[in-house]
Amino acid sequence: MNEKKKSDLAVLLDYAGSYKGLTFLGLGLSGAAMVLGMLPYICIWLVMRDLIAAAPDWMKAVGIARYGWMAFGFAVAGIAVYFAALMCTHLAAFRTASNIRKQGMEHLMKTPLGFFDSNASGLIRNRLDGAASETETLLAHNLADIVGSAAMVLSMIVLMFVFDWRMGAACLLAAVVSIAAMFTMMGGKNARLMAEYQAAQDVMSKAGTEYVRGIPVVKVFQQTVYSFRAFKQAIEDYSAKAEHYQGDVCQLPQSVNLTFTEGAFIFLVPVVLFMAPGALKTGNFTGFVTDFAFYAVFSAIVSTALARIMFAASGTMQASTALRRIDQVMSAPVLRITDHPQKPEDNSVEFKDVTFTYEGSKIPALDHVSFRTEPGQTVALVGPSGGGKTTAASLIPRFWDVSSGSVLVGGVDVRETDPHVLMDQVAFVFQNDRLFKASILENVRAARPDASRDEVREALSAAQCDDILQKLPDGMDTVIGTEGTYLSGGEQQRVALARAILKNAPIVVLDEATAFADPENEALIQKAFAALMKGRTVIMIAHRLSTVVGADKIIVLDSGHVVEEGTHTQLVSAGGLYARIWADYNQAVTWRI
Ligand code: ADP
Ligand code: MG
């Protein structure tokens, strides 16, 4: 990438798409509005000039009504144009935010499913949503204010020097001092302090979230908030940093800044006193007084302009952090989709010398793993926890793509298959399959949206869910997750199995959940498994070895390696790792009985 890094603003405006022009129009109008807003001050000067010239015979100042109306007209026009400006920037900002959301979601649809494993999808969506709306403030308000303030400052500078440059310079000096004070707070060494202070705030809010998540643990173990050291530490760190930055660093410059923005007038007085004798001599004392009156009124708006700029500047900082978050989403890896998909030839599944390492991990989770499942066969993956079983299963639907080697379904590399075809051919039941907050019917039908009610009922029945339907108030139409309709872990798994049965895919990948305590559920789940596996190619990860005994082939995975391979009888007599696991399992079962 030798392309120069685009500025945040350019990136944002690119998201605006066809509404980019509207942003510029809005900004132009905002500048014009500010200039219009300055014109009444000239009218005030004209009024004062006429009044002072006519004094004490006030009636002679006939022009002042006209100036009054002009001032009023300019002020109204300024407001109207500003309103139009905000209309434009808001329209563009809303479009930009919605484009960001749309493009972000489109991008996320292309990322491998595994990405959501390590990044909860709700969190990503919230982050994208939050960041998108934060850019709204920048585009709709801050930018318009920055351009407006710039126009204001420019016309202010012009106005300052139009009437009397010495008095103008005095007002300007006040502005310069307060800007300088503002920059000492944010620049140089203090910039680092400010960044640290903001980072501490970030850490604290993250620790707060962790704390809220951990409340159940706190309650169960009768702990107090003090047990959350990280949170306590984060709060203390933040308060120390905040105190140091705001107290030690900002106190003086902020006082100076406020004094000079609010009291620009102070500079004006000595200058005027100094100039007064000279003005008296020239004889144009009335002009001098008019100018003084003008600058006295005018100096008050300097502070408004500066406050606006400061506010807008903080808005751009916020927008740039928002953009960074959006960028994180947009730079998530995408699943490469082939342009020339090949059709799977049969229902076999094969791992050919597969190595896979999780991002950020040093040791491969799977290390040169090879095995093959013939069509209609059942292959079981067993082995100690962390051996790589779930990882192997996840590579089949491309939750992740292999680091090297290949995973073949129907003789075709999954990366060379049309993802839709792959998903049609393979049904997955994973340990953490979640049911949506919808009716059971909808939950099961998610596998095949065109399935009829009867087909869904049959699938539920095959998955041994009849007892669940009977106890629910509206049977299949009961929305689960609502009051009084929670399903136990085992029940949820049976509904998930019904979903896989309805899908009727020729290949099934099963990551069996760790044993559920009650034996009744266990027996039902076994039956549901049997219904799902019948006549299909099955890759299963079984924790109850009783399910494994009948498998055509057992692959024993340990630390990412295939350490043994064979049928149950072969492996038991071989006396290796499997035989040991089997012995342990039997002992555990005996103990339970
Ligand atoms: P099993 O299912 O056999 O218990 P896994 O496939 O879940 O084993 O894990 C294999 C290895 O990969 C383990 O060392 C585990 O810590 C690691 N691992 C699993 N999931 C992830 C992940 N999302 N990110 C990083 N490492 C992971
Ligand atoms: Mg696992």
Q: For residue 281, give the CATH number of its domain.
A: 1.20.1560.10
260 assigned to some structural domain: yes
Look up the domain containing 193 and give its range: 8-330
**496 with 355, same domain?**
yes
- Which residue is closest in CA terms to ligand 1's atom 26? 358
CA–centroid distance, 401 to ligand 1, in Å, is 15
Q: Is 514 in the pocket of ligand 1 (CB under 6 A)?
A: no
Q: Is 112 in the pocket of ligand 1 (CB under 6 A)?
A: no
Domain count, the chain: 2
- Which residue is closest in CA terms to ligand 1's atom 13? 386
Q: Which atom of ligand 1 is nearest to the CA of 114?
A: 23
What are the tokens at 282?
């020239």
CA–centroid distance, 387 to ligand 1, in Å, is 8
CA–centroid distance, 563 to ligand 2, in Å, is 17
Final residue before a domain boundary, out of 330, 358, 391 = 330
**270 with 383, same domain?**
no
344 assigned to some structural domain: no
Torsion, CA 67, CA 68, CA 70, CA 76, rounded to 10: 160
What are the tokens at 8?
């945040």
Pocket perturbation via mutation, ligand 1, pick of 369, 390, 401, 431 by most ligand atoms within 8 A of CB:
390
Q: Which ligand is nearest to the CA of 385?
A: 1
CA–centroid distance, 415 to ligand 1, in Å, is 22
Q: What is the pLDDT at residue 520? A: 75
Collapse the DSSP code of 5 into the 3-class scheme (helix H, G, I; strand E, B; otherwise coil) and give the result.
Answer: coil
**245 with 368, same domain?**
no
215 assigned to some structural domain: yes
454 assigned to some structural domain: yes
CA–centroid distance, 392 to ligand 1, in Å, is 10
Final residue before a domain boundary, out of 302, 330, 358 = 330
**CATH number for position 422:** 3.40.50.300
341 assigned to some structural domain: no
15 assigned to some structural domain: yes
User: pLDDT tens track of the chain, all 593 residues?
Assistant: 334 456 777 888 888 888 889 999 999 999 999 889 888 888 888 888 888 777 777 777 778 889 989 999 999 999 999 999 999 999 999 999 899 889 888 888 788 777 776 666 666 777 788 888 888 888 888 888 888 888 887 887 787 778 788 888 888 788 788 878 877 877 777 778 877 887 888 888 888 877 777 777 777 766 666 667 778 888 999 999 888 888 888 888 888 888 877 777 777 888 888 888 887 777 777 778 888 877 887 777 776 777 777 777 777 777 777 888 888 788 877 778 888 899 999 999 999 999 999 988 999 999 999 999 999 999 999 999 899 999 999 899 888 899 999 999 999 999 999 988 888 899 888 766 677 888 889 889 888 889 999 999 999 999 999 988 888 888 888 888 776 677 887 888 888 889 999 998 999 998 876 555 567 777 888 888 888 888 899 999 987 787 788 899 999 999 999 999 999 999 999 999 999 999 988 887 777 65
Residues 6+ apart with CB under 8 A from 24: none
**383 with 326, same domain?**
no
Q: Which atom of ligand 1 is nearest to the CA of 117?
A: 23
* 335/348 Cα distance (integer angstroms): 23
- 214 beta partners: none
- The 10 Å Cβ neighbour count of residue 251 is 11
504: left (phi > 0), else alpha (psi -120 to 50), else beta? left
* 454/546 Cα distance (integer angstroms): 32
- Which residue is closest in CA terms to ligand 1's atom 22? 358
**150 with 209, same domain?**
yes
**314 with 387, same domain?**
no
**303 with 179, same domain?**
yes
**314 with 382, same domain?**
no
Q: Is 458 in the pocket of ligand 1 (CB under 6 A)?
A: no
Q: Is 361 in the pocket of ligand 1 (CB under 6 A)?
A: yes
What are the tokens at 453?
């009610």
* 446/458 Cα distance (integer angstroms): 15
* 584/592 Cα distance (integer angstroms): 12
